[in-house]
Chains A and B, each alone.
Chain A
Amino acid sequence: SYELTQPPSVSVSPGQAARITCSGDAFPSKFAYWYQQKSGQAPVLVIYEDTKRPSGIPERFSGSNSGTMATLTLSGAQVEDEADYYCYSIDSSGKGVFGGGTKLTVL
């Protein structure tokens, strides 16, 4: 079955850039999506179709998809960005797949 691999954790200081990677054999031909989940809350879509940002998501969130790696970048991470981040894609049979999640710490 198709798998997406993320680092378990990423840590940055406030104002620094944070990069969270997602490795998948079907990239870049398949789109990557990114979700933010804060403690006790439902996930929120922050990037879709590799690079698009939903309305209401700050401009500091951006995405890319190249080679076999999709990347979520927070340019100038804020304390309120601390959360778990999950990548998502669709496999060749049309089934969804999530990465294992990355805990972002901003301190």
Chain B
Amino acid sequence: EVQLVESGGVVVQPGGSLRLSCAASGFSFDDYTMHWVRQAPGKGLEWVSLITWDGGSKRYADSVKGRFTISRDNSKNSLHLQMNSLRPEDTALYSCAKDKYRNDKVKTFPDYWGQGTLFNVSS
């Protein structure tokens, strides 16, 4: 059974930093592109970032580019999101999601999602 468990959500001051993690199990983690998606309270889904299975390609939404860094450790089946220069508008539920296809760099889309971790950027 695919399991994705996010962690790292706390309260952070504006301008601060935070690292989110996602522990994956139940599938061959090192064969799949992974995504981070966020949802502000009462708002819609916003795609944040993706990283290919080998870490060779990374993409970021314009709203986080230059502030967030996605990474993965295939030896530990874990995905990370380092977030710097945090703003109040970054407050959201952050979820990691697995891609549908193995080793595909073209047709990348979230297939299975974790329940997410919530954090608040507030002074």
Contact with A along B91-123 (1 / 0, CB 8 A): 000010000100000011111111110000000
Is B11 in contact with chain A by the CB < 8 A criterion? no
Within 8 A of A (CB), among B18-69: 35, 37, 44-47, 50, 57, 59-62
Within 8 A of B (CB), among A17-43: 31, 33, 35, 37, 42-43
Count of interface residues, chain B, beta-carbon cutoff 8 Å: 24
B-to-A contact residues, CB < 8 Å: 35, 37, 44-47, 50, 57, 59-62, 95, 100, 107-116
Decide if A90 touches B109 in the complex (CB within 8 Å): yes
Residue ID in chain B nearest A99 by CB atoms: B44
Q: How far is the CB of A33 from chain B (nearest CB, A)?
A: 5
Given A33-B109, A49-B107, A42 and B116 touching (CB < 8 A)? yes
Complex A-B, nearest 9 residue pairs according to Cβ-Cβ distance, in ascending order: A96-B47, A101-B44, A42-B113, A98-B45, A95-B59, A33-B109, A100-B44, A86-B45, A94-B59
Count of interface residues, chain A, beta-carbon cutoff 8 Å: 25
Q: Which chain A positions have C-beta within 8 A of B111?
A: 45, 48, 54
Query: How far does the alpha carbon of A34 sit from the alpha carbon of B111 in the complex, in Å?
Result: 10
Decide if B60 touches A95 in the complex (CB within 8 Å): yes
Is A97 in contact with chain B by the CB < 8 A criterion? yes
Residue ID in chain A nearest B108 by CB atoms: A90
Decide if B100 touches A93 in the complex (CB within 8 Å): no
Decide if A88 touches B109 in the complex (CB within 8 Å): yes
Q: Which chain A positions have C-beta within 8 A of B45?
A: 35, 37, 43, 86, 88, 98, 101
Decide if B107 touches A97 in the complex (CB within 8 Å): no
- Extra inter-chain contacts (17) besides given A96-B50, A98-B37, A98-B45, CB under 8 Å: A31-B107, A35-B45, A37-B45, A42-B113, A44-B113, A45-B110, A48-B100, A54-B111, A88-B47, A90-B108, A93-B59, A95-B59, A95-B61, A96-B37, A96-B59, A96-B61, A100-B44
